[in-house]
Structure 1
Amino acid sequence: MKFRFIQNAILLLMVALCHSAYSQKKKYNVLFIAIDNLRPQLGCYGFSNVKSPNIDKVASEGVVFEKAYCQQALCSPSRTSLLTGLNPDVTGIITIGPHFRDSLPNIVTLPQHFKNNGYFTQGFGKIFHGGLDDPRSWSVPHDQGKNPRYAPEGQAIIETKRQEKIKQGLDLTLRENRVFGPPVESYDAADNYFLDGGNTENALKALAKIKDSTFFLAVGFSNPHIPYISPKKYWDLYDRSQIKLPDNQYAPEGAPAWALQSLDELNGYHNVPKPLTDDFKRELIHGYLAATSYVDAQIGLLIDGLKKNGVYENTVIVIFGDHGYQLGQHGMWSNKHTNYETSARVTLIVKTPETKAKGQKSASIVQFVDLYPTLSDIVGLPKPAQGHGQSFKPLLTNPKKKLNTYAFSQYLKGGYYGYSVTDGRYRLVQWKKGNETVLELYDHTSDPDENKNVAGNPALKAVVASLTAQINQRIENDKKDRKILGHTSQAFNSEK
């Protein structure tokens, strides 16, 4: 009897140990890679002219989302929305500032949710918008990086301009007095000379220290945001003579003037010709592509770091661009700031240890607000307490499954509150200012580049009505959620 008792005890202990090992195995790490202004213009998205072998390799082991959308095409609102799981009208962040905790102090962010559930969370580079970091999200202070953004020539140009403005008595802390260097720069230097390479190096050092923890490691890259800066070897990957300019360098027919953005992001940069010449436009595209390949190389180093430290097989990898981007489409250069497909559609690639649909693409609509619940679902954390998204984990097994019916984005322009919705075929943009309403409708079946507004077509009246109802319902739901979450900005609440 005593022997049987001991035998049963040993059996129970073995079961417990196996269960413990299994549970430990299921605690996946997360490598969270944020890339500024990265268009879905990579090899894995069908652009063979773009040199992105490392991102493409991750895509071959994960799922590429072809219909992924941000909630606003501007860095801070988009990142705040993604990292809180809330729409911009609920966070109150529809411009670069203020900080979301000024109005929603108790919101739990995505990395904070992981930290609260036992993960070691650490961030490098641009995760939240620069200057608007969130200390509560990290186990140790976030590291923005100290390496230069510019090469020595660009740094010298900036310093000369700074001294000139100081002599004029201008306050350089004000946004309107910011000093810029050249919009494009290539320099014969090692990868870690520049900011993005330095952040990669620091992230790899941290990885070696935290590899035995369960970690959420976030690495943000500033390229390919303008200025497009890269070591010369990435510049040399591209032949300028083979770079083609977009065909639709004109405003969509029937679009309101305020829906477009001019040279806003190029303003202030050194030696920008006005009007832009075709040679300069090709230079911008060349710089953007080189900067993209530079970031791709850094991602390759991060993947190698996971493998070297023995954690690759147990790590979820997420790669995303924080919003879309225009490189000449509709005449907009180095820009986002619209409600069009080129601004709202984003790069999103997810690879997990359990991904069954390896190397496949999903045309199911997903939104950035879905990423928070999805990552929680993948690693087995509790469902987030707040959020407007739903988990798209099922798409990693069956990418053909339909998830969302609609994706929403928004942008305030010219005093008009603009909201857009897509159902995968149509994109409707609704502009409101007081009692005035202006509509844009684009049919991607016949007009994938959104070159003609067909909102006035009588045959599409039912489509307009249906999509308008979706936008208005979204606006009303956000109003209710602001009240539920106790949004404290009275000015924002009264405006909206």
Structure 2
Amino acid sequence: MKIILVSLDTLRASRLSGYGYGKPTSPHLDRIAREGALFERAYAADIPTEVAHTGIFTGKIGLTTGVVSHGSELAHLTKSTPWLPTMLRSAGFETAAVDNLYQLKEWFARGYRYYINSVGGNRWIDGKTVNKLAFPWLEQHKDESFFLFLHYWDAHTPYLPPQELVPQFYAAGRDPFDPGNKSMEPAYNHLAYPFFKHHHYDLIGEVTDSEYYDALYDAEIRYLDDRLKELDQHLERLGIADDTLLVLFGDHGESLTEHNIYWDHCGLYEPTVHVPVIMRWPGRIAEGRRVPGFVQQVDLLPTILEAIRRESPAGIDLAKLGEPSGMDGISLWRTIEGKADRTHDRVYLSECAWQAARGIRTDRYKFIRTYDSGPFIRPERELYDLQEDPEEAVNVAESQPEVAERMERELEEWVARKLAGRTDPMKRQIEEAGLPFRKRIEQILASAGLTWDDWRQNPLRERFDRAVSSK
């Protein structure tokens, strides 16, 4: 049995053709979905990258593991916490990863016999590099039962796709550098500008048209899609495509100016928390299955464990797989087989990097409670009627106070149940260390001779640029 788990970092579900997008970003992903199962309403319970992947490999949300933030020195995952690659290696699978999450936290290398660190001289990683490192390993281990984790970063900022892909997504005749276009001004004058100037804007140039950034994101997805096609072709050449359980997921999505979030993945809004999940396993998963109800990323671990037990592959000791206690995830197999339309009636959401907030997503409503807004201006309570307002444009917390109060009580009670008397890790992060990404901005500002409090009162791009150039 071969299992390939693929993380598609920063991939927003609604930007894929298979999820209803009208532009040709994902022809091969669409083909994989037609050959297997697509989960229409899959959600990232914890964002961004560090907490999302911790949940996927443990089957537990952040409140259960205690890991709720990203890039925090306070975060720690105990070695006694069951970890998917460790479990599979113990049972007899060869385990490997082409990934660089080890740069974030040591626990991401646990359980692998082969950890191929994809980090390079740049902060971004080209999908061609991932394939170049993965393909020889696949050739060497094609006759074994294996688990391979692949992490593609192409949709993550900075968006630097091959220029020949951009015209498919950017209207002919538009000029991304037109001085008369002022649509980039809100992004350039945002509180988070110092961070993105260094990590993104300076690499693209003096763009004035915000639609150009959206086009670059689409082109990156199209480029990623080609890399996934190459992966599939390699599996076919090796003769193992039909024996491989292929699981693809987005760890979080991407906001493209919505809610004053400019090409980044924070905020518990649909563009960031609604992610793609697609599975293919020829002969075991029926073609063309679309699951309409709520599922979560933490459902992937119990799904993979059940798949192994169903297959009972030769040479694998099922008794050593174990069954982690206290999992928040639920196997997806009932939904895959059409016996259920979801694994969860509602999804609880959490973030603690740029902002600190928690939320609830039900069929009709989304409620968000913000505890620290970081470099954003947010009300403490947000309520959106997603049936009437799928774009989450109108906060009805004040006009529907009874709904907001009921959902806030439900959120508080759920948090209390999950903590069971333990200290709230989000509260500890805010009080003891502060938001990790605010600290990054503070460090950048300090290097330019500015303070956070001063910058928050007067965040002008020209002011920051002058301060930088004077140093």
1:449 is matched by which residue type in structure 2? E
**Deviations for 1:127-178, whole angstroms, at most 9, x for unmatched residues?**
566464533220123322447567xxxxxxxxxxxxxxxxxxxxxxxxxxxx
Matched, 1:318 2:247: yes
Matched, 1:446 2:388: yes
Higher mean alpha-carbon deviation, 352-361 vs 44-53, is at 352-361
1:36 is matched by which residue type in structure 2? D
C-alpha contact 2:184 2:208 (8 A) present in aligned 1: no
User: What CA distance in whole angstroms lies between the structure 1 residues aligned with 2:42 and 2:292?
Assistant: 9
Q: Give the corresponding residue for 2:4.
A: 31
Aligned-residue Cα RMSD (Å) equals 3.7
User: What CA distance in whole angstroms lies between the structure 1 residues aligned with 2:299 and 2:220?
Assistant: 28
Please state how far the C-alpha of 1:326 moved relative to its aligned partner: 0.5
Quick one: which of 344, 350, 358 aligns to 1:419?
A: 358
Q: Give the corresponding residue for 2:95.
A: 121
Distance 1:62 1:327, change over 3 A: same
Quick one: which of 330, 337, 341 aligns to 1:401?
A: 341
Please show how residues 16-415 of structure 1 align to structure 2 within 5 Å.
Answer: 28-40=1-13, 41-98=15-72, 102-126=76-100, 130=104, 132=106, 134-146=108-120, 195-241=126-172, 262-263=192-193, 266-269=196-199, 278-279=208-209, 281-380=210-309, 382-398=322-338, 401-412=341-352
C-alpha contact 2:360 2:411 (8 A) present in aligned 1: yes
User: What CA distance in whole angstroms lies between the structure 1 residues aligned with 2:116 and 2:128?
Assistant: 17
Distance 1:491 1:262, change over 3 A: closer
User: What CA distance in whole angstroms lies between the structure 2 residues aligned with 1:420 and 1:396?
Assistant: 27
Question: What is the number of equivalent residue pairs in this alignment?
Answer: 406
2:297 is matched by which residue type in structure 1? F
Please state how far the C-alpha of 1:43 moved relative to its aligned partner: 1.4
User: What CA distance in whole angstroms lies between the structure 1 residues aligned with 2:64 and 2:191?
Assistant: 25
TM-score (norm 1): 0.72
User: What CA distance in whole angstroms lies between the structure 1 residues aligned with 2:33 and 2:281?
Assistant: 11
Q: SS where residue 66 of structure 1 aligns?
A: strand
C-alpha contact 2:170 2:212 (8 A) present in aligned 1: no
Distance 1:478 1:425, change over 3 A: same
Q: SS where residue 94 of structure 1 aligns?
A: coil
Please show how residues 463-478 of structure 1 align to structure 2 within 5 Å.
Answer: 463-478=403-418
Distance 1:384 1:315, change over 3 A: farther
Q: SS where residue 104 of structure 1 aligns?
A: coil
2:370 is matched by which residue type in structure 1? W
User: What CA distance in whole angstroms lies between the structure 1 residues aligned with 2:119 and 2:160?
Assistant: 16
User: What CA distance in whole angstroms lies between the structure 2 residues aligned with 1:311 and 1:481?
Assistant: 48
Please state how far the C-alpha of 1:431 moved relative to its aligned partner: 3.1
- Kindly, what percent of the aligned residue pairs are identical? 22
**Deviations for 1:427-467, whole angstroms, at most 9, x for unmatched residues?**
0112347xxx9321101110001011111224x61x33443
2:358 is matched by which residue type in structure 1? Y
Distance 1:489 1:323, change over 3 A: closer
Q: SS where residue 295 of structure 1 aligns?
A: helix
Q: SS where residue 51 of structure 1 aligns?
A: coil
1:429 is matched by which residue type in structure 2? I
Unaligned runs of 5+ in 2: 177-182, 310-320, 373-378, 434-471
Distance 1:298 1:33, change over 3 A: same
Higher mean alpha-carbon deviation, 125-134 vs 138-147, is at 125-134
Please state how far the C-alpha of 1:267 moved relative to its aligned partner: 3.1
User: What CA distance in whole angstroms lies between the structure 1 residues aligned with 2:184 and 2:259?
Assistant: 5
Please state how far the C-alpha of 1:126 moved relative to its aligned partner: 4.2
User: What CA distance in whole angstroms lies between the structure 1 residues aligned with 2:20 and 2:194?
Assistant: 30
Q: SS where residue 418 of structure 1 aligns?
A: strand
Q: Which structure has the larger Rg?
A: 1
Please state how far the C-alpha of 1:306 moved relative to its aligned partner: 1.4
User: What CA distance in whole angstroms lies between the structure 1 residues aligned with 2:278 and 2:173?
Assistant: 28
C-alpha contact 1:357 1:398 (8 A) present in aligned 2: no
C-alpha contact 2:67 2:76 (8 A) present in aligned 1: no
Unaligned runs of 5+ in 1: 1-27, 151-193, 252-259
1:215 is matched by which residue type in structure 2? F
Please state how far the C-alpha of 1:480 moved relative to its aligned partner: 2.5
**Deviations for 1:279-313, whole angstroms, at most 9, x for unmatched residues?**
2x122122211211111111111111111112111
Please state how far the C-alpha of 1:49 moved relative to its aligned partner: 0.6
User: What CA distance in whole angstroms lies between the structure 1 residues aligned with 2:421 and 2:109?
Assistant: 25
User: What CA distance in whole angstroms lies between the structure 2 residues aligned with 1:277 and 1:479?
Assistant: 46
**Deviations for 1:99-121, whole angstroms, at most 9, x for unmatched residues?**
79845222122222221221111
Distance 1:408 1:115, change over 3 A: same
Q: SS where residue 115 of structure 2 aligns?
A: coil
Distance 1:132 1:355, change over 3 A: same
User: What CA distance in whole angstroms lies between the structure 2 residues aligned with 1:345 and 1:468?
Assistant: 21
